[in-house]
């Protein structure tokens, strides 16, 4: 036993002890991930290729059907493709609305004036009480529209200039405009926090060089918060998965408890929906990466 | 003679300069140095913000005003915002229809218990990600990120089966147990928040504690956690509010024995009038309008109260926890 080897052994032992402790810290999450995440994901993927029947004793009878579920969903089902289309149309419209709105509001809230905190509190309010069911009630009673939009005949304009189905969807969106804007509370916070990351010195420097606030916004603020725009896009998308007016959710639920279609078919619906979402997320992540200053740390 | 002239000239000039300077001061006050820090800009800003804020709060006003209308006022199209007489009947109806007392207890259980558990578990995980070295860290980080992005629709079916096999359906366990294992509602987000916060703490603290021979757990529970009270507050408040407003998962897993307020609201009509609500989206029945709004108000009131007390930490805490650097 030479001392060098002893020392090396001690070192290895020490390293493994600290690693063991680290894994202990991670243990609850790891167990949870396996049980409540990885296993359900695998199972639901398996279900998507099966025809599942409930037997009388409450257990499942599987029958492998390959891609049949997906074919049925896209070719036979007369609701699902339309609802998917509606959802993605809504999403494409809602994303920019929410992002631009929260950017404008956060810019305003970022200025220094008295009573700033009152306004901040107001704009964060909806996060506190946007229960899905409450939103639905408000929407049904038509409390979610912006009054002056209907007064100035915006909906008439839309009806004249778009195809009927698109127009119907857009008027529906107008009807819940405020409820859409309501889901930008967290995004506003993220933007405000994002503004803090741009050093004040830069603004002072360009000011001395004679740049107008307008120019400094386009040249400094906007590029500076680009990562946060991507972040907000991500957050908004995840938020819209469970937006109470998401038609795909209802569809999956109805098929789950439907005897003729069942769990397998419902799984296939969910997976196809997820595939489309992955494509969108990939686009956003690509956009995030392209901004160079790739920040993974985020709120 | 000449000197007098010169004096006069000079005094005139001085006066002019003074007037000029005053004008400049006023201009500076009104327009500021760069147009965006003067009074005019501020007034415009506040005006704009007020309009947007009014639009933003309008549904809330609508809720309260509709709630206080009697049936006659609801049917009368001339009554818009201010009811002719304040009528508390709607609130009574909604209170009864929501089974308010018991649902409130249920909802509170659902909101508070998982939130407290989340703080503990997510902070442990976040600390490991922020400060500890172990193989596979980046993989874990990516997986946590992924759990945030997975739509609940994907795993809802297997989860439903698992919970029904375990007999957890209709109990608060469906929210508590996943939270215990870091998979609760938006847990991934909380882990990332904690990680971010721990990264901003000075390393010297941990080094000093380690040199003094503290074990890792002691260091964490004795030094790190007490220091991270602001982050814990933010996480707790967010988690509380999100659990309170949760509608999707609870509509799947909870049905009749254990019902949070949000589900009660969808059944309110059936509950009161003994009829299932019509499925037509826009068929509004003025008879039930007020009661529904009263129900909605009863649901949003408790979190509003919490928010009013805690809003300082809410908004500032998010900025102070350095969530975003």
Contact B247 A228 (CB under 8 A): no
Q: Is residue A11 part of a domain?
A: no
* Closest CB from A21, A29, A122 relative to B182: A29
Q: Is residue A90 part of a domain?
A: yes
pLDDT exceeds 50 at position B320: yes
CA-closest candidate to residue A43, choices B26, B162, B280 = B162
Q: Write the pLDDT tens digit of every residue in B214-246.
A: 888 889 998 899 988 888 988 998 899 899 988
Tell me the fold of B98-266.
MetI-like fold (1.10.3720)
Torsion sign across C-alpha atoms A18, A19, A22, A28:
negative
Report domain extents, chain B.
2-87, 98-266
* Angle formed by the axes of helices B100-131 and B173-180, nearest 10°: 10
Q: Is residue A230 part of a domain?
A: yes
* Closest CB from B59, B195, B263 relative to A143: B59
* Closest CB from A112, A119, A190 relative to B53: A119
Q: Write the pLDDT tens digit of every residue in B18-43.
A: 888 888 877 777 766 655 667 888 88
- Domain count along chain A: 1
The whole-angstrom separation of Cα A252 and Cα A268 is 9
Q: Is residue A215 part of a domain?
A: yes
For chain B, what's the residue count?
325
Q: How many CB atoms lie within 10 A of CB A99?
A: 18
- The enclosing domain of A101 has a CATH number of 1.10.3720.10
Burial of B316 by CB count in 10 Å (0-12 exposed, 13-18 middle, 19+ buried)?
middle
List Cα–Cα distances, A54 to A62, A262, B26, in angstroms: 9, 8, 81
Residue of B nearest to A144 (CA): B59
Contact B62 A143 (CB under 8 A): yes
Query: What is the model's pLDDT at position A294?
Result: 46
pLDDT in tens, chain A (299 residues): 677 888 888 888 888 888 888 899 999 999 999 999 999 999 988 888 888 776 655 667 777 777 888 888 888 887 888 888 888 888 888 889 899 999 999 988 888 777 777 888 888 888 887 777 788 777 777 776 766 666 666 767 777 777 777 777 777 777 778 878 888 888 988 898 888 888 888 888 888 888 888 888 888 888 888 888 888 988 898 888 877 777 787 788 788 777 777 788 888 888 988 898 888 888 888 877 776 554 444 43
Contact A128 B307 (CB under 8 A): yes
Q: How many CB atoms lie within 10 A of CB B57?
A: 15
Distance from CA of A3 to the nearest CA of B (A): 24
Domain enclosing residue A233, as ranges = 65-298
The whole-angstrom separation of Cα B31 and Cα B19 is 18
CA-closest candidate to residue B159, choices B277, B254, B63, B21 = B254
Contact B58 A178 (CB under 8 A): yes
Chain centroid to CA B90: 27
């Amino acid at each position: 036993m030479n001392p060098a080897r002893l020392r090396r052994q001690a070192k290895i032992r020490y390293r493994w002890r600290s690693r063991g402790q680290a894994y202990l810290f991670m243990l609850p999450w790891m167990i949870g991930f396996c049980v409540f995440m990885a296993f359900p994901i695998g199972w639901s993927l398996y279900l998507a290729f099966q025809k599942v029947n409930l037997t009388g004793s409450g257990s499942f009878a599987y029958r492998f059907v390959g891609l049949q579920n997906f074919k049925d969903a896209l070719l036979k089902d007369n609701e699902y493709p339309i609802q998917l289309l509606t959802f993605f149309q809504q999403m494409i419209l809602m994303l920019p609305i929410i992002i631009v709105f929260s950017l404008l509001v956060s810019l305003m809230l970022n200025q220094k004036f008295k009573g700033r905190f009152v306004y901040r509190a107001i704009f964060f309010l909806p996060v506190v009480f946007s229960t899905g069911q409450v939103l639905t009630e408000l929407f049904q009673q038509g409390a979610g529209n912006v009054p002056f939009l209907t007064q100035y005949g915006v909906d008439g304009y839309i009806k004249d200039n778009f195809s009927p189905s698109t127009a119907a969807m857009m008027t529906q969106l107008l009807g819940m405009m405020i409820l859409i804007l309501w889901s930008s509370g967290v995004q506003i916070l993220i933007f405000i926090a994002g503004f803090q990351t741009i050093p004040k010195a830069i603004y002072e420097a360009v000011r001395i060089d004679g740049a107008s606030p307008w120019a400094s916004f386009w040249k400094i603020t906007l590029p500076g918060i680009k990562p946060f725009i991507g972040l907000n896009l991500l957050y908004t998308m995840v938020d819209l998965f469970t937006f109470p007016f998401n038609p795909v959710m209802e569809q999956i639920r109805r098929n789950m408890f439907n005897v003729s279609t069942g769990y397998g078919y419902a799984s296939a619906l969910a997976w196809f929906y997820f595939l489309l979402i992955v494509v969108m997320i990939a686009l956003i992540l690509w956009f995030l990466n392209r901004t160079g200053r790739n920040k993974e740390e985020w709120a | 003679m000449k000197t007098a002239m010169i004096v006069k000239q000079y005094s005139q000039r001085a006066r002019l300069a003074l007037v000029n300077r005053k004008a400049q001061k006023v201009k500076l006050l009104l327009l500021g140095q760069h147009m965006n820090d003067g009074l005019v800009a501020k007034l415009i800003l506040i005006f704009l913000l007020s309009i947007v804020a009014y639009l933003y709060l309008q549904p809330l006003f609508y809720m309260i005003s509709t709630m206080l209308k009697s049936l006659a006022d609801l049917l009368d199209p001339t009554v818009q915002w201010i009811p002719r007489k304040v009528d508390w009947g709607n609130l009574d109806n909604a209170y009864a229809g929501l089974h308010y007392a018991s649902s409130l207890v249920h909802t509170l259980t659902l909101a508070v218990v998982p939130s407290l558990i989340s703080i503990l578990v997510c902070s442990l995980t976040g600390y490991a990600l922020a400060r500890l070295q172990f193989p596979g860290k980046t993989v874990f980080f990516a997986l946590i990120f992924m759990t945030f992005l997975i739509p609940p629709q994907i795993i809802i079916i297997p989860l439903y089966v698992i919970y029904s096999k375990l007999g957890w359906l209709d109990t608060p366990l469906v929210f508590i147990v996943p939270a215990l294992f870091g998979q609760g509602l938006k847990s991934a987000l909380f882990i990332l928040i904690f990680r971010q916060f721990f990264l901003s703490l000075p390393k010297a603290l941990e080094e000093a504690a380690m040199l003094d021979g503290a074990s890792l757990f002691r260091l964490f529970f004795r030094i790190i956690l007490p220091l991270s009270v602001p982050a814990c507050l933010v996480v707790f408040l967010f988690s509380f509010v999100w659990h309170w407003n949760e509608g999707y998962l609870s509509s799947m897993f909870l049905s009749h024995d254990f019902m949070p307020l949000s589900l009660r609201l969808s059944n309110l009509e059936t509950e009161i009038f003994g009829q299932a609500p019509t499925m037509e989206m826009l068929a509004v029945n003025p008879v039930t309008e007020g009661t529904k709004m009263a129900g909605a108000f009863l649901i949003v009131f408790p979190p509003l109260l919490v928010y009013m007390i805690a809003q300082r930490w809410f908004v500032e805490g998010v900025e102070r926890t350095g969530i975003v650097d």
